[in-house]
Amino acid sequence: MFSLSQRVQYIANFSMTVGLVIVALIIGSSHLDFFQKGILRNSQAAIANIKPIVGFRTSRFYGAANGHPKENTRIAFDLNTDLSGLFNWNTKQVFVYLTAEYNNTEKGTLNEVTFWDAILPDADHAIIKLENTRSKYSVWDYTGDLSGKDLQFKLHWNVQPHVGPLMYGVAQGDDIIVNVPKPESKV
């Protein structure tokens, strides 16, 4: 005999199975789409014209301790990229971030810091043309100074899906290495 609870249970089980199959199809097909476009390994970005702006901050929220001013670096930069290929039916948003890697040989640390980032809500916003844009963040090194270091700039992206795994990648382009100059005076 079929009782109410059995019917409810059957419907619940069936809809859950159907839901999981649909989710698997969405994830699989969107990966196939990315693979066909070759976008995951072959996104392009042109970073240029990086001008470091070096100053001092005295707040502990800018790395200063015990009132000693801390050297902080901002940059101005140009950026040209088209990441619209990262958008398909399973892309909720793309997060792009401009980072710099550097090696602090005196302290023996490897470091990566973010200078600028943005949330791209759709494919129209994924075509980025920035000229002489100021970085979003004021960056300091946690043990020493950024001045004198060679910063290697890269544009990374992170695809955040409607459902499924998060994906990460780096945009290809020329090697951009910039040396940060010494600041003029401790203001």
Partner 1 sequence: MNIRAELAKFLNLCFVFSSAYMFWQTYSLIADTHSPIVVVLSGSMEPAFQRGDILFLWNRNKYSKVGDIVVYEVEDKQIPIVHRVLREHHSTKNNGKQLLLTKGDNNAGNDIPLYAGKKTYLAKNKDIVGTVKGYFPHLGYVTIWVAENKYAKFALLGFLAITSLFGDE
Residues 6+ away with beta carbon under 8 Å from 109: 103, 143
Check binding of 17 to partner 1 (CB under 8 A).
no
CA-CA distance, 37 to 57, in Å (whole number)?
Answer: 45
Check binding of 139 to partner 1 (CB under 8 A).
yes
Closer residue to partner 1, CB minimum distance, 81 or 99: 99
Question: Is residue 118 packed enough to be buried (19+ CB in 10 Å), middle (13-18) or exposed (0-12)?
Answer: middle
Q: Which stretch binds partner 1 (CB under 8 A): 35-43, 49-57, 95-103, 175-183?
A: 95-103
Check binding of 119 to partner 1 (CB under 8 A).
yes
Q: Residues 36, 67, 132, 166: which binds partner 1 (CB under 8 A)?
A: 166
Q: What are phi and psi of 143, to 5 degrees?
A: -110, -35
Within 10 angstroms of residue 96's Cβ, the number of other Cβ atoms is 23
Which amino acid is located at 84 in the chain? S
Binding site for partner 1 (CB under 8 A): 1, 3-6, 23, 60-61, 63, 92-93, 95, 97, 99, 108-114, 117, 119, 121, 137, 139, 141-143, 156, 158, 160-166, 168
